[in-house]
Every structure is written in C-alpha cells, then in structure tokens.
Structure 1
Amino acid sequence: MLMGPAIGLLTILASLLRIPDEAAGAYCGNRPLMMGKSATHPDGGSEAAPGAWPWIVSIQSPLLDDYYHVCAGTVLNNLWVLTAATCFKDEENTMYLWRFVIGTNQLSHLDQNVQVREPLTVVIHEGYNKMNGTDDIALVKLNQAVVYSRFVQPACLPITSANIYALVNCQVCGWSVLINNVFTVADELLEANISFVGLERCNSITWHDGALFPYNLCAGYGEDEIDNCPGDFGGPLMCQDRKTRTFYVVGVTSWGRGCLDKRNPAVFTSTHSFLKWIQDSMSREDHPNFKSMKYNTAKSGDIQRTYSHDAPNKASLRLRRTARSKT
C-alpha cells in the first residue's frame, strides 16, 4: 500500500497528464491544447488545430432563426472582448441581439466546450470615423464572465516598452475565406502566417497611398498567398516572443483592399498604441467623458455616442462615448 509521499507524488504526476478545465488559464497567452506541439507555419487559409487560438471570438448577428458570423474578436479577460469599431458602424440598432461565441473552431457545431455570451457594454473609440477608419478599435463587456478552460483563454497584449517588430512568427486567424473572388464564411477557423510591411512602404502612392495612420500596422502574405479578408474584421494579429514563445495580440484587423493584390495588404490597428485607452476603458466605466443618451437618438457627425437599451430577455446594451487617449 502506498503511503505518505508516494501518494502525493502520484497525485502530482496524474495532474500533469491533463490540465483540468477549471485550472487551465492562470495567465494570458496560455494555449493548453498546444503544449508540446511544434509551431506550424501554414499558408493562407489553413484550418487551425482545436484550441490553437483559445482567445478567438466569433461575433454573430441574428438572421431569421439562426446567427451568422460578422466579425472576430479577442478575449482579454473573463469579461472583456477586443475587436474593431468597424464591426458596429451600421449596427447600433441591433447590437443587443448579437452573440459572442467563444471556445470553438467550428461554427456549425457548438459543443459543451463552447461558451456563448451577450454584449452588456460596447465601447467604441471616440475618434472612430467610418469614412476613413481612424481609431478603429472597440471593446465589448460581456453579460456574464467566461470560465477559462482548455478551449477558452485570455490573450496577452504587448507591454508599453515592447518592440513589436522584434516579435516573430506572426499569425492571423478567423473564419473568412475567398472562393472564386467571392467572400464567404468558412465553417472551420482558418490561420495563416503573415509578415510585417514597413509603414512607409505600405503608405506609398502605389500601395495604400497615404491612407494609414502612425498607429496602424501593415502586414501581408507575399507574392502568392491571399490577404486577410473582411470576415476577419476585428480579429487578432498575433506575434510571438522569440524567447518565451508567448503570442501577443499586437493588432486588430481593420481593413484591406483586396485579397489577391500584394500591394494592398491588410491594415491593423496597433494595440500597442492604444494600451492606455484599453486599460482606462476596462477599469473606469464611470469615466467623466462617458455620456448617456437614449437608444436610437442621432449621432453627432461620424462619432459614435452613448446608447442604452433594455430589451426583453436580453442584456442591457450601452454604447459609450470615450475620450481619445493613446500612448
């Protein structure tokens, strides 16, 4: 019969064989299902392994008796999702009906590992302008905290002193796909390697012709691979620290002008440039620059303001006006 220290040793060994769901995720960037697996370098549009990107969110809008994928997002903690303001530019009347699907790669099969939430608060950056894409970043507070598991984990953001361009193995993921020059939504999560393009080059007259701002990142696939597609608006651009192997979400997919044109690569909003805004928005819901008004009232110019709506059997949704603050 095993006694004392022997029993304790067996307990420790048993716990190492499988990470229990309730214990998986004490730190950002954790990928429990990818432990011990070598990094992949897929071409554009390869299917991701289950749990490869456990912070990815499918943001879905209702359609008849079902939902359809409209944007992607990133889990930052158990209550907040990072995405693009562009996802909400024409949807302020229906956002309270949306759902956030977390913990799956396959949209048609939501199993017991999937967690579905509703939006409680949507925070769109004050400077967002849907005509030119300035300050294209947004946060969503969920109506209920997610539970970390092998399939659901928070992503890491870069620290203030980080050198983004020193990171390696950059990846994008999402459900968009280009078939016969028509954008559609794939059932399985797709992933692809992507490489930075210098901002000056990307902004040149024969590329994006001055449309980028200093807080944008530009990245593409090269000669033969397809670019990021509209279904991935709001999704993460992730790059890896060479030493720790941890992935950091360095960008939010904002826009791009064509999936087959090398000179029109994807444009991202740099999370590094908005770290203070993200922190302030998540921690200071009583910020003095947030103003309230009734749902469906008019907007002022191109700047989204605060809305509130109490819908039967739905979470109360508030779209807040925020102060411009970038680091």
Structure 2
Amino acid sequence: ETVIGGSDSLPGAWPWQVSLQYNFEHKCEGSIISNNWILTAAHCLENYNSWKVVAGLNERHLYEWSTQIRYPIKFILHNKFKERTVENDIALVRLDSPLFFTDFIQPICILNQKVEEINFTNCFITGFGVVSSAIDNPIFPPVLQEAEVNLIPKSVCRKSNWNGKSVTDKMLCAGYKEGGIGACWGDSGGPLQCFSEKKRRFYLVGITSWVKNGCALPGNPAVFTCVSSYFYSFISTNATGTYTVDNKHEAHSSVCLEKATQLSISNTCPLVGIFDDPSIIPSVTEMHDGKAVE
C-alpha cells in the first residue's frame, strides 16, 4: 500500500519511518519503535529473505549523511497471521546493530489503549509507494509522501458496500468517504500516525495492511492493523530488551518528537521508554505470540 493524493514530506518530518528494501529496491515500510526493533506488516516478510533497513531516508534513491543502514537478524511474524484474510498482519524486525538516534531518526510512541479513548486531532499516512494506482503504468515518487486522513468508524467501514465483514475488531480504516486520498500498493507495513494535543506527540496507531478493490476509491478506505490490539500479546512480549521506567536512565530511554516538523524539540516518553504504560517492562526472552524467522 502507499499514499495516493499525498505531497512531498520534508527531511526529518517522519523520523520513525524506514524503508524495507530487498535487493536494493524498496518493498515495504516500517516504523522504528526502539533502536533495535522495527514494527511492520507480516505479509511484507513472507516471500523475501534478503533485506536491509534504511532509516533517515527522505528521497528513495538518495542516501545522505542522515541515512543509516541496518540488516535484519530476526523476523518475528504473528503466529496467527493469515495470508488469505490478512488477519494479524503484524511483525517485528530485529536489527543487527542499534540505530543511532538523530533529528532524522527517532522512535515513535506506541499506542497501548483503544483509539477511541484518545482525542487525536490529526492522523497521517506516509510512504514511498505508487502515487498512481494504474496497474499498467504505476508511478513511484522520488520523495517520501505524506497525507492527512480521517479515522473511519468500523460501523461504517464494515458496510457491505464498503469493506464489509473482512474488517475485524483488530483492524482500523482510514481515508475519506469520497476517496481521492489514501493508501495504495507499495507501502505496506508503513505507519498510520496520529497526533495527541494533550501529550504533544505522535502515536503509532496503525500499520498499513490492505485495500479491497482499488486505491483511494469512494467508500473503499485502506485498512490498517490496529497496533493497540497487539501491544500486550505481541509487541511487548517479543520486542525484548531493557526499557526505562522514568527519565532517570536517559541513556536507555527512547524519545518521541513533540511535532514532526519541530526537528530539534523532543520529549522523553514519560514511562516505559517507547511503551506508554508503567506496568509493562519487556524483559521476556521467550516468544509466546510469535514465530521467529532467522
């Protein structure tokens, strides 16, 4: 999936966005959730075993001083991922060495409560995929695209003339009723990020997953994996490591930007590093809800 009807983003505007590349070609997107872990879609990783992760990338083929390249050493796909129905379309990528955080490379905070419980003011999708959905003549943008979208209630998205019953409780829909702007082919695994005015930061709300009939069509919004549905059962269990509980251990804490356009202003996530819940400190080394792919 990718962004139809979007616009060029500025360098560093979405510092948690990464390009997942296979044989030097962009294939999918992902989001930085810590210096060692990337969150993406499970269907991205089914058919390829030779990947690299490019962080800090704003132009598809332009690697600058702000770019960092890492290589996966482990894929963890949700063990109940269903390729046919695209259920549980979520996966973790473990990097071979930690990312060095800069103004252009930062982790995003993970939402661990229901989307309806947060008064998000703005939601955006981002991606490097096609900007024209014509199958015979796809157009790929040179610059990372961004577009603002609306969260669409499941009661609307599940209508028979929309996406129907294929939308499960662990999925989200985002786009516009009239179409024209939305996700499309080429940007699977990328972030649906929403801004909280109260906490002054973006949260990773969804992972770009699928579209039903075509891209950005009326009554046919893109569907995303709902990140909060997998926080306890998959993410915090499998993304093992040491996360800071407060700001006393700044060397081990992750940061989340106040606003994507304010590159030099950042706040430390106040509780468990990237995980905004004081009761969760991931330290489990065994996997309970995923399968490892070395």
TM interval, shorter chain, is 0.7 to 0.9
Q: Equivalences for 1:152-301 in 2 at 5 Å?
A: 152-160=105-113, 163=116, 166-179=119-132, 181-182=134-135, 183-223=138-178, 225-257=180-212, 258-276=214-232, 277-283=234-240, 286-287=285-286, 289=288
Contact 1:71–1:87 under 8 Å retained in 2: yes
Change (3 A) 1:202 1:288: closer
Structure 2 length-normalised TM: 0.78
Structure-1-length-normalised TM-score: 0.71
Q: Distance in 2 between matches of 1:161 and 1:181?
A: 36
Query: Hey, what's the Cα distance between the residues in 2 that align with 1:279 and 1:126?
Result: 15
CA distance in 2 between counterparts of 1:110 and 1:81 reads 19
- What is the rounded CA distance, in whole Å, between the counterparts of 2:132 and 2:284 in structure 1? 42
Structure label with greater radius of gyration: 1
Structure 1 residue 210, shift from structure 2 partner: 0.6
Contact 1:176 1:229 in 2 (8 A): yes
| AA partner of residue 72 (structure 1) | E
Following the alignment from structure 1 to structure 2, what is the Cα–Cα distance between the partners of residues 224 and 161?
25
Q: CA RMSD in A?
A: 2.1
Aligned to 1:12: none
* Partner secondary structure for residue 164 of structure 2: coil
The counterpart of 1:59, out of the listed 20, 29, 34, is 20
Q: Is the 8 A contact 1:44 1:221 kept in 2?
A: no
Distance 1:69 1:152 in 2: 18
Q: Which runs of 5+ in 1 are unaligned?
A: 1-41, 291-303, 308-317, 319-327
Q: What percent identity do the matched residue pairs reach?
A: 34
Q: Which is bigger in relative contact order (C-alpha 8 A, separation at least 6)? A: 2
**Aligned pairs for 1:128-139 within 5 A:** 128-139=81-92
1:161–1:88 Cα change, 3 Å: closer
| Structure 1 residue 90: Cα displacement | 2.1
Other-structure match for 2:61: 108
- Structure 2 unaligned spans of 5+: 241-282
Corresponding pairs, count? 246
Change (3 A) 1:106 1:141: same
Alignment check: 8 A CA contact 1:120 1:141 kept: yes
Label 1:306 to 1:56 Cα distance change in 2 as closer, same or farther (>3 A): closer
Give the C-alpha shift of residue 85 in structure 1: 0.3
Residue pair 2:179, 2:217 contacting (<8 A) in 1 also: no
For the structure 1 residues 281 and 224, does the alpha-carbon distance in structure 2 shift closer, same or farther, using more than 3 Å as the test?
Answer: closer
Tell me, yes or no, if the aligned pair for 1:44 and 1:193 is still in contact at 8 Å. no
Q: Find the counterpart in structure 1 of residue 30 from structure 2.
A: 73
